[in-house]
Amino acid sequence: MSLISRSSDEIRAVHDEARDRYGELRAAGLKLDLTRGKPSAEQLGLAEQLLGLPTGHDDEDGTDCRNYGGIRGALAIRRIYADLLGIPVENVIAGNNASLEMMYDNLAFAMLHGAPGSERPWAREEKLRFLCPVPGYDRHFAITEHLGFEMIPVRMREDGPDMDAVAALVAEDPTIKGIWCVPTYSNPTGAVYSEEVTRRLMSMPTAAPDFRVMWDNAYVVHILGDTFPQVYDVLGIAAEAGNPDRPLIFTSTSKITFAGSGVAIHAASAANLDWFTHHLGIATIGPNKVNHLAHAEFFADADGVRAHMVRHRDSLAPKFARVLEILDNRLGEYEIADWTRPEGGYFISMDVLPGTATRVVELAREAGVALTAAGAAFPLGVDPADENIRLAPSLPPLAEVEAAMDGVATCVLLAATEKLLADA
Ligand code: PLP
């Protein structure tokens, strides 16, 4: 029976047991961290060979990658990603190590200069808004916050954002310039956008002529199970619908090779890439093409990337399985929390009893378990229901993930019973 419908005496009994366990937890003096989705040392080690690559310096077309130039990046790595994403190589460019930087630059250039289809630089518009599916990725929201957008939250469902809400908003409001999307194994819920949602996003009428879908496919090959997800040809779908410049596609090798020195990838229409590289070419003479060659040699081809992701899966999947097992065992019977069961990506999203997420994070911190701040997955860090917590089990070794999650379950129960007793 749900804890909420139990008698005060029964709730108090659960509370007292949770309080005792919490005392033991604090006494254990843990120092554990489930905050950020970083690859573990074991995962980084899977790409150790990269440190000795590349063995040559010429790109496929003979370009000497040691020299200046080549704003679109080395052909060898662009070709592998064109293949993985099902996009013509002319529509794919490779940057430095952070796809986040390419997202930021796209929006910053639009602010300063306007994008293809814009009537004026975005910064000269009276008002700018951006749609933010929630819960979502805090660093996306940080970019639009930093650039001065008003962020409008829309609910995330299992197959992508609430499209009725999205379509209604963008049809009426020309100040809405775009939407953040993580279409595969979304951060943090693990949702995978359906074909229908994908088609609607690319084809829906928008009041803004220069509306952009920030299609951040960061986890496109990051499986936890046996099969790789479907990759939709969003450039083709958008072009067919008469919106060729709408999707801006991003991904990177950050959680494939080295998170701090991988390769960022951006794909878009010819008009968008000409515009982007024109402005980028003022800021830099070109990206690190030697690293592009190193990655191309390491992977060999798109199948090489997939084979490598199977090795990551073997390291990550046991951690995710254990987190789910602990949540099921410790919290399942009380029905006071829900959590996602992702088939890929880096996160589990947990909703605790409304009004207790901040308290759970505080209790965990005081017991030495660092969790992402409550509300982090919402624009401006504000979760109106104070219920969402993002769990990131990749970085610590399995034994630490287990200890941390057992502690988190205790904190969830303690916070919930505290609130239920106070409200009674
Ligand atoms: N996009 C999403 C959805 C992420 O979760 C992350 C990292 O957690 C990034 C982008 C960062 O990518 P990059 O390292 O290429 O900047």
Task: For residue 12, count other CB atoms closer than 10 A to its CB.
Answer: 15
Instruction: Write down the pLDDT at residue 183.
Output: 98
Distance from the alpha carbon of residue 249 to the mean position of ligand 1, in angstroms: 13
Could you tell me which residues come within 8 angstroms of residue 22 by beta carbon, excluding any fewer than 6 positions away? 363, 367, 410, 411, 414
pTM of the model: 0.98
To test the pocket of ligand 1, the residue of 255, 256, 390 to mutate (highest count of ligand atoms within 8 Å of its CB) is 255
To test the pocket of ligand 1, the residue of 43, 100, 105, 219 to mutate (highest count of ligand atoms within 8 Å of its CB) is 100
385 pLDDT band (50/70/90 cuts)?
A: very high
Instruction: Write down the pLDDT at residue 117.
Output: 98
Distance from the alpha carbon of residue 186 to the mean position of ligand 1, in angstroms: 11
Instruction: Write down the pLDDT at residue 423.
Output: 93
Distance from the alpha carbon of residue 259 to the mean position of ligand 1, in angstroms: 9
Instruction: Write down the pLDDT at residue 214.
Output: 99
Distance from the alpha carbon of residue 383 to the mean position of ligand 1, in angstroms: 21
Ligand 1-lining residues (CB < 6 angstroms) = 37, 98-100, 137, 182, 187, 216, 218, 252, 254, 264
Q: Which SS3 state, helix, strand or coil, does residue 370 take?
A: strand
Q: How far apart are CA 143 and CA 54, in angstroms?
A: 34
To test the pocket of ligand 1, the residue of 35, 141, 214, 252 to mutate (highest count of ligand atoms within 8 Å of its CB) is 252
Give tens-digit pLDDT for 16-30: 999 999 999 999 999
Give the pLDDT mean for 286-306: 98
Q: How far apart are CA 359 and CA 411, in angstroms?
A: 8
* Mean of pLDDT over the chain: 97
Instruction: Write down the pLDDT at residue 57.
Output: 98
Q: Is the pLDDT of residue 10 over 90?
A: yes
Instruction: Write down the pLDDT at residue 1.
Output: 81
Give tens-digit pLDDT for 249-272: 999 999 999 999 999 999 999 999
Closest CA to 200 of 153, 232, 223: 232
Q: How far apart are CA 55 and CA 68, in angstroms?
A: 19
Give the pLDDT mean for 196-222: 98
Q: What is the DSSP string of 229-292?
A: PP---HHHHHHHTT-TTSEEEEEESTTTS-TTS--EEEE--HHHHHHHHHHHHHH-S---HHHH
Q: What is the DSSP string of 312-327?
A: HHHHHHHHHHHHHHHH
Give the pLDDT mean for 326-332: 98
Distance from the alpha carbon of residue 218 to the mean position of ligand 1, in angstroms: 6
Instruction: Write down the pLDDT at residue 415.
Output: 98
Residue bearing the CA closest to ligand 1, atom 11: 100
Tell me the Ramachandran region of residue 305: left when phi exceeds 0, alpha when psi lies from -120 to 50, beta otherwise.
alpha
Give the pLDDT mean for 100-118: 98
Q: Is the pLDDT of residue 36 over 90?
A: no
Q: Is the pLDDT of residue 398 over 90?
A: yes
Q: How far apart are CA 80 and CA 129, in angstroms?
A: 35
